[in-house]
Amino acid sequence: MAQNEIEGSMKFPLLPLRDVTLFPQMVTGIEVGRPQSVAAVREAMQGDGYVACVMQRHMDTDNPGIDD
């Protein structure tokens, strides 16, 4: 199995990003302030340290949902 393949299914805390775009192998700081985002990072740190980052469509939405 290749190094970047994931075997089986895994669950990760979800971190919606408002004003930054991440690319593979990119290293950058991310400002986390919303309560849901802080909770996602804390959950990741208590587990394996992984978090799934996704782009948020509308920057002015404070509580993004599945359609945002």
Closest by CA to 43, choosing from 68, 11, 16, is: 11
- Residue 36 has φ and ψ, to the nearest 5°, of -65, -35
Q: Where are the domains of the chain?
A: 9-23+32-58
Report pTM.
Answer: 0.72
- Report CA 8 to chain centroid distance, whole Å: 20
Residues 22-63 pLDDT 10s: 998 999 998 899 999 999 999 999 998 999 999 888 888 888
On the question of pLDDT at 68 being above 80, the answer is: no
Structural contact between residues 21 and 57, judged by C-beta atoms closer than 8 angstroms: no
On the question of pLDDT at 67 being above 80, the answer is: no
